[in-house]
Structure 1
Amino acid sequence: MAGEAASARSVTLVVDVANVMGSRPDGWWRDRAGAATKLLELMPPLVGTAVGLPDGGASVAVARIVAVVEGRATDAAAPAGIDVVAAPADGDTTIAEVAAAAADAGERVVVVTADRGLRARLPSGVDAVGSGWFNELTGR
C-alpha cells in the first residue's frame, strides 16, 4: 500500500490519536502517554510516501501528519517530522479545527478516525478514513 510519492497528489493526514489507540485493546489505557508515544513513533516513515486510500482511488502522497493528542496522552514524546497538537479540551473539536485550518490553507486533508460524530463535524472537502486503515499502514 505504501510506495513512491512522485506522481501522487499530496495530502495532510490529521490523526485522532485517541481513536487509533482505542481501536486495539492492547492495554493502552494503563499508560496513555506511553501508548501515544509508541503510536507517534510509527508515523514518521509515512511522510513522503504514497499510500492508497481505502476507497480504491488513486494513491496520495503523505506530505504532512498532524497528530492530535488529548488528556494524559499530551505527555507523549513527539518524534521529529510529526506535528503534534495537544487538545486544550476535547480532541474532536481540536481535530475539526486543525482539519478546517489545513483545508482553508489549500491542503487536501484526510482525517484518521472511526468516530462517526467527529466525521459529521468535519468541513466539506475533508475526507475521513478509519483507524484500521491507519493501523495496517503503520504495521500496528
Structure 2
Amino acid sequence: MVTTSLVIVDAANVVGSVPDGWWRDRRGAAERLRDHLTGYAGTGLPGFPGPVELVLVVEGAARAVESVPGVRVESAPGSGDDRIVELVAERQAERPCLVVTADRELRRRVEAHGARCAGPRTVRQATG
C-alpha cells in the first residue's frame, strides 16, 4: 500500500525568508505562497514524490487565509511552530513527513518525531 507523504510548510518562515515587502501584507503573502504550493500537490518535492498532502500552517495576520484544492491551510491558534509539531506528532508513524522551514529549533522538534526537514528554497517564490 502506497502512503501519501505529508508536507507541512511553515508559512511565516518561508514567506519571511526573502525581504520582498511581505510585511506590508502578511495575509496576501501567505495567500500567494498557498497558491504557489498547489503545483506541488501532484508532483511532490525532492524525496517526496507526488501526490503529497500539503499543509500550510499560518499564524498571526495570516490566520484568515483559507484552504484551496491541493493545499490545506491550518490556522495556528497560538504558535505556528507548536501547531506544526502537533501535526507531525499526530500523523501515522509510517507516513513520510517533510517540514519546510529554516527554523533550527522547529527542525529539532519535528525531527524528534521522525520528520525530515528542508529549507524554504525548496518551495520558495517571490511573494512581494
Name the TM-score class by shorter chain. 0.7 to 0.9
TM-score by length of 1: 0.80
Q: Give the C-alpha shift of residue 77 in structure 1.
A: 3.7
Amino acid at match of 2:65: A
TM-score, with length taken from structure 2: 0.86
- Counterpart position of 2:17: 23
Match of 1:108 in 2: 96
Number of the residue aligned with 1:85: 74
Query: How far is 1:103 from its partner?
Result: 4.0
Change (3 A) 1:75 1:50: closer
**Residues 111 and 62 (structure 1 numbering): CA distance in 2 closer, same or farther, change over 3 Å?**
farther
Amino acid at match of 1:70: E
Verify the 8 A CA contact 1:37 1:78 in the aligned structure 2: no
Distance in 2 (CA, whole Å) between partners of 1:9 and 1:77 is: 26
Counterpart Cα distance in 1 of 2:15 and 2:36: 12
Q: Superposed, which structure 2 residues align to 1:1-140 within 5 Å?
A: 10-53=4-47, 60-104=49-93, 106-122=94-110, 123-135=112-124, 139-140=125-126
Unaligned runs of 5+ in 1: 1-7, 54-58
Shift of 1:10: 4.0
* Percent of paired sites with the same residue: 38
Give the match's secondary structure for 1:48.
helix
The structural deviation recorded for 1:50 is: 4.1
Q: For the Cα contact (< 8 Å) 2:88–2:113, is it kept in 1?
A: no
| CA–CA distance in structure 2, aligned partners of residues 78 and 31 of structure 1 | 18
Q: Which runs of 4+ in 1 moved over 6 A?
A: none
- Name structure 2 gaps, 5 residues minimum: none
**Structure 1 Cα separation of the partners of residues 122 and 37 of structure 2:** 13
Give the C-alpha shift of residue 128 in structure 1: 0.6
Matched letter for residue 48 of structure 1: G
Question: Do 1:103 and 1:126's aligned partners in 2 also have CA atoms closer than 8 Å?
Answer: no
Q: Which residue of 2 aligns with 1:5?
A: none
Kept in 1, the 8 Å contact 2:88–2:97? The answer is yes
Task: List per-residue Cα deviations over 1:82-123 (Å, max 9, x = no partner).
Answer: 11100000110001101111244x321000000001011113
User: CA-atom RMSD, angstroms?
Assistant: 1.9
